[in-house]
Chain A
Amino acid sequence: MRTVRDVAAPSDLPALSRVVTPEAVKAYADAGGDQNPLHQDEAFARAAGFPGIIAHGMFTMGHLAACLSKWAGGPERIRCLTAQFRAPVFMGEEIVAGGRVKAVDTERGVAVIECWVTVERDGKTEWPIKRGEAEVLLDP
């Protein structure tokens, strides 16, 4: 477990990447309960104005939470997590979650983290999640 003494601010969390597949998104729809056809039905997604099906925002946020959890030493360490969904994620794309410790609150024993998820598309960095915020519990 990380302690308030061994976490520096600012410092970067290790990035965590994964490729988004239709199989993982379908598994997520079944586990999470969001069966919106936008995430499973190509024709529906095209009619809605997208070039193909898109991942759930919560799929991308789940990946961000996993990045935080791995750094923190378990999901139970995450006390707050906020994400704004800024860009869609398409099948086959690689999403990269990252974060930076902005402050360590020694009184409350938490690391305050800015976090995000990026994807490289057509030579440009897109931000499916930008300026996310988390508070992660540290040991004294």
Chain B
Amino acid sequence: MNPAAAGKTYPATTFTVDPQRVAAFREIFEESEGVPATFVTVAEFAIMPQIVADQELGLDFSHVLHGNQEYEFRRPLQESETLQVRCRLGSIRALGRNALLVLVTELFEPGGEIVCTARSTLIERAAD
């Protein structure tokens, strides 16, 4: 990974809180109502192809482990609503032979009001 890519922001994309996927989450985690808190991961993965394809960053996704995850909600997600999602590279640093990448993903209303901020720390393991 290229540490100089830290701070980079990717173009925002549209994200709809798809009721079918929400229902799948509820079934998997045996929740009876609402949008499970970790459903935000779907938005994070919606934007992931842009990050994986970014040659300036050079992330090797086949060697990635998930180190840490944070969610902070201003309000709960609503089923069927359409939000915008944008992602920036919060920080990139070496940890031994591995590298740590912090992705900051924000879900926001069309008017710009933040709904949820997600911080994900990915560990890129050194290739053997």
Q: A75's closest neighbor in chain B, by CB?
A: B34
Q: Are B66 and A31 in contact (CB under 8 A)?
A: no
Q: Are A30 and B73 in contact (CB under 8 A)?
A: no
Q: Assuming the A-B contacts A31-B28, A36-B61, A69-B31, are A85 and B71 also in contact, with contact meaning beta carbons closer than 8 angstroms in the complex?
A: no
Q: Are B69 and A78 in contact (CB under 8 A)?
A: no
Q: Are A83 and B29 in contact (CB under 8 A)?
A: no
**Docked complex Cα distance between A83 and B118 (Å):** 12
Task: Indicate if B59 sits at the interface (CB-CB under 8 A).
Answer: no
Number of interface residues of B (CB under 8 A): 34
Task: Indicate if A76 sits at the interface (CB-CB under 8 A).
Answer: yes
Q: Are B34 and A76 in contact (CB under 8 A)?
A: yes
B72-101 interface code vs A (CB 8 A; 1 in, 0 out): 110010000000000000000000000000
Chain B interface residues (CB < 8 Å from chain A): 21, 24-25, 27-31, 33-38, 41-42, 45-46, 48, 61-73, 76, 125
What are 11 A-B pairs with beta-carbon distances under 8 A? A31-B21, A33-B42, A36-B62, A58-B41, A62-B25, A75-B34, A76-B76, A81-B37, A81-B38, A83-B70, A85-B65
Chain A interface residues (CB < 8 Å from chain B): 18, 24, 27-28, 30-34, 36-38, 48, 56-58, 61-63, 65-66, 68-70, 74-76, 78-85
